[in-house]
Amino acid sequence: MSRLYRIAITGALLAISVVALMGGCSISGPPDPKAAVIAMFGAMEKDDKAALAHLLDLPALMNTYSEDYALQTDKPRVFTSPQQILEDLTGDGLTKVRWFSMQRIVNEVLVTGESATVEVTFVDKAKSIGYRTKFGLHIVNEKWKIYSFKTEQGI
């Protein structure tokens, strides 16, 4: 192999490495909103209230009066403290029990500036019904936080 050929190969490998490093460093901003939703389900599964508190905008969730996000409820529940929401999403909380009794499919993400929606479908195989929801997220302190769990429709 000629010296000139080795220099050319070394230069090409160096250029590829630099481009790869620059591409990795150029990623800025918060991670994908979908990752926050998946992390929330993981924290729920582990009953990790501390992790949930970092992923949720608890004051905003407390202001949700018109619809109960536990699915299949007759009338909305009203939460009077962030602790009540965390208890509802962990252990034997109604929302955790209902959500984890169904197949969860995390679908499309729509990002608009510092807000996003992540579509999540809950499938009740026993009843052959699905619930399409749109989790609302916004950026708080450079992180995506979930502020709503809106059920769009039963499908």
Domain containing 87: what range? 33-154
Rg (CA), the chain: 22
- The pLDDT of residue 80 is 81
Q: Mind listing the pLDDT tens digit for each residue in 51-74? A: 999 999 999 888 865 555 665 556
| Number of other CB atoms surrounding residue 129 within 10 Å | 14
Count of domains for the chain: 2
Residue 136 has pLDDT above 90, yes or no: yes
Q: Are residues 77 and 116 in the same domain?
A: yes
Same-domain pairing of 19 and 58 = no
> Tens digit of pLDDT for each residue in 2-45?
554 444 444 444 444 433 333 433 345 557 999 999 999 999 99
Please indicate, yes or no, whether residues 23 and 64 belong to a single structural domain of this protein: no
Residues 49 and 92 in one domain: yes
CA neighbor of 153 nearest in space, from 137, 135, 136, 133: 133
pTM to 2 decimal places? 0.74
Measured CA distances, 34 to 56, 63, 76, 145 (Å): 13, 23, 26, 11
Residues 105 and 77 in one domain: yes
Say yes or no: 84 and 22 in one domain.
no
Two tokens at 57?
């905008």
Separation of alpha carbons 51 and 94, rounded Å: 19
62 lies in the same domain as 3 = no
How far apart are alpha carbons 103 and 39 in whole angstroms?
Answer: 16
